[in-house]
A and B are shown apart, each in its own frame.
Chain A
Amino acid sequence: MEQDFTTLVMALTYLGAGLAMGLGAIGAGVGEGYTAGITVKGMCRQPKMQGELLRTMLLGQAVCESSGIFALLVALIMLFSGEKANTLAQAAAMLGGGLAVGASAVGGGIGTGIVSAMACRSIARQPEVTGKVTGTMLLGQAIGTSPSVFGFIVALILVIPMQEFETVEKAVALLSAGIAMAIGSLGPGLGIGWIASRACIATGLRPLSQALVTRTMLISGAVTETTSIYSFVVAILLIYMT
C-alpha cells in the first residue's frame, strides 16, 4: 500500500493518549477518594491514631495512584514521540496501547483503593496491629497492581517499537491486543482488591493468624490473577505471532 497514513496516525495517537489518561484517571480517583473517606472516619473514631492513619493513607494512596501514573506516562510518550509513526498498523497500535493502559488502570486503581481503605479502617479499630496490617496491605496492593502492570507492559510494547507492518490484518491484531489487555485486566484488578481488603480486615481482627491470612490471600490472589495473565499471553501472541 502506497498511501500516506500520517494524518490518520496522528489522529489515532491523540485519541489513544486521551483515552489512556481519561480512563486511567477513573480508578486512581475512585480508589484514593474512598481511602481518604474511610481514613477520616477512622480518625474520628480513634483521634490518637491520626499520625499512623495519615501515614498509612498516604502510603496506600501512593500505591493506588501508580496505575494512573502508568497511564500518564504512556499518554506522554504517545504525545511526544507519536510523530515518527506513519503506517496503518502503527496507528492501530497507538490506539490499542492507549486503551490497554487506560482500562487496565480502572480495575487496578479501584481494587488497590479498597485495600488501603480497609487497612485504614482496620488500623482505626485495632491500633496495636498497625505494622502487621500495613504489611498485609502493601502485599495485597502489590498483587493488585499486577494487572495494571501487564497493561502498562503491553502498552509500552505497542507504543514504542516502530515496526514496519503495513497490512490491515496486522493493524486489527495490534488493536485487538490492546482491547484484550484492556478488558481482561478490569475484573482481576477489582477481584484481587476485594480479596486483599478482606485480608486486611481479617489481619486486624486476628493478628495472630496473619501468616494464614496472608498465605490464603496470596494463593487466591494468584488464582484471580490468572485470567489477566491469559489476556497478557493472548495480547503478546497477537502482537508477535500474527
Chain B
Amino acid sequence: MDIEIGPTDVYQPIPHPFFLINPTTIKMSWYIIIFLTILVIFVRLKLKARPGRLQVMLETVVDAFDSLCKSTLGDRGRKYLPFIGSLFLFVWMSNIIGIIPFFEEPTKDANTPIGLMLISIFTAHISAIRIKGVKEYVREYFEPALRIRGIWIPNVLFAPLNIVGECGKAISMSFRLFGNIFGGGIIILVVSSLVSFVGLPPFLGLFLGLFSGTIQAFVFSMLALTYTAVATS
C-alpha cells in the first residue's frame, strides 16, 4: 500500500516552494465546475411550468437553501444564496466524485478545503465590515469591554482570546472536511487491499462517499452560513 498525506502528484514549474501545482486536484475541480455549469445552464434554458426530473432535483436544492438562508440571515438571506448554494454544490460534487472510477476527490487534498474555508471566512468578515463598519468590527474584538460612566474601555486581555477563537473556527472547519474525506479514502484503500476479490469496497465507497460526503458538504455550507450570520448580527 502506498499512501501519501497531501496531494497525489505535484508539478513544479519554477523551483520555488510557493509555485507548487497539484495537477490532479485542479483537473478534478475543473471537471466539477464545468459539469455543474453545463448542467445548470441546460436546465435553465429548458425551464418548464411542468418540470422534468432534472429541474425538480435542482429546484429542491435551490428551495432548501433559499429557506435555510432566509431562516438564518433574515431579509439579507437572498443575497447569500448564490454563494452558499454553489459552495454546497461544489463541495458535494467534490465529495462524491470519488465513487466514479479513475476520479479523485479534490477535497482529499488539504489545499481545497483550506481554500474554501478562506473564501467562507473572508465572506463572513467582509460582510461584517460592510454591515457594521470598520470601527464597530474592530471594537468587537475588544469585547466584552468595560463601560464606566458611559466611557468605553477596550478589553485588551480578551483580544487575543477572540482572535484565537476565530482561528480555531477556521482550522476546525477546513480540517473537518479534509479529515473526513481523506479518512474515507484511506478506509476504502485498506479494505480493498484486505479483500481483493470480494465486492465490498464499492458499497463502502457508496456509504462513505454518498452518505458521509453529503453530510459533510451540508455541514460545511451550513457552517459558512452560520458564521456569516454570527459575524453580521
Contact A135 B230 (CB under 8 A): yes
CB neighbours of A218 from chain B (8 A): 143-144
- Which of A72, A139, A153 is within 8 Å of B230, CB to CB? A139
Contact B183 A69 (CB under 8 A): yes
Q: Is B122 an interface residue (CB 8 A)?
A: no
Contact A58 B168 (CB under 8 A): no
CB neighbours of A69 from chain B (8 A): 175-176, 179-180, 183
- With A69-B180, A73-B182, A152-B175 as contacts: A135 and B5 at CB distance below 8 Å: no
- Which of B175, B218, B222, B227 is within 8 Å of A73, CB to CB? B175
- With A59-B222, A152-B171 as contacts: A222 and B176 at CB distance below 8 Å: no
Give the CA-CA distance A218 to B167 in the complex, in Å: 15
B 218-232 to A, binary, CB cutoff 8 A, 1 in contact else 0: 110011001101100
CB neighbours of A138 from chain B (8 A): 223, 226-227, 230
Q: Is A143 an interface residue (CB 8 A)?
A: yes
Give the CA-CA distance A59 to B225 in the complex, in Å: 12
* Cβ < 8 Å to B, chain A residues 108-141: 130-131, 134-135, 138-139
- With A62-B176, A72-B179, A134-B226 as contacts: A146 and B219 at CB distance below 8 Å: no
Contact B180 A131 (CB under 8 A): no
* Cβ < 8 Å to A, chain B residues 179-201: 179-180, 182-183, 186
Contact A58 B219 (CB under 8 A): yes
Interchain Cβ contacts within 8 Å, total number: 93
B 1-28 to A, binary, CB cutoff 8 A, 1 in contact else 0: 0011100000000000000000000000
Contact A80 B179 (CB under 8 A): no
- With A62-B176, A66-B176 as contacts: A131 and B72 at CB distance below 8 Å: yes
Give the CA-CA distance A229 to B162 in the complex, in Å: 12
CB neighbours of A134 from chain B (8 A): 72, 226
A 71-84 to B, binary, CB cutoff 8 A, 1 in contact else 0: 01100110011000
Q: Is B94 an interface residue (CB 8 A)?
A: no
- With A69-B180, A218-B144 as contacts: A143 and B5 at CB distance below 8 Å: no
**Least distance between B186 CB and chain A CB atoms (Å):** 6
**Least distance between B165 CB and chain A CB atoms (Å):** 6
Give the CA-CA distance A77 to B167 in the complex, in Å: 22
- Which of B161, B178, B222 is within 8 Å of A222, CB to CB? B161
Contact A145 B71 (CB under 8 A): no
Give the CA-CA distance A143 to B171 in the complex, in Å: 12
Give the CA-CA distance A226 to B227 in the complex, in Å: 23
* Cβ < 8 Å to B, chain A residues 48-87: 58-59, 62-63, 65-66, 69-70, 72-73, 76-77, 80-81
Q: Is A149 an interface residue (CB 8 A)?
A: yes
* Cβ < 8 Å to A, chain B residues 60-81: 71-72
**Least distance between B141 CB and chain A CB atoms (Å):** 12
Q: Is A219 an interface residue (CB 8 A)?
A: yes
Q: Is B38 an interface residue (CB 8 A)?
A: no
Contact A70 B226 (CB under 8 A): no
CB neighbours of B132 from chain A (8 A): none
Contact A149 B215 (CB under 8 A): no
**Can you give 17 A-B contacts (C-beta < 8 A)?**
A62-B219, A63-B172, A63-B176, A63-B219, A66-B175, A66-B179, A69-B179, A69-B180, A70-B172, A70-B175, A73-B175, A130-B71, A135-B233, A145-B168, A146-B168, A149-B171, A229-B164
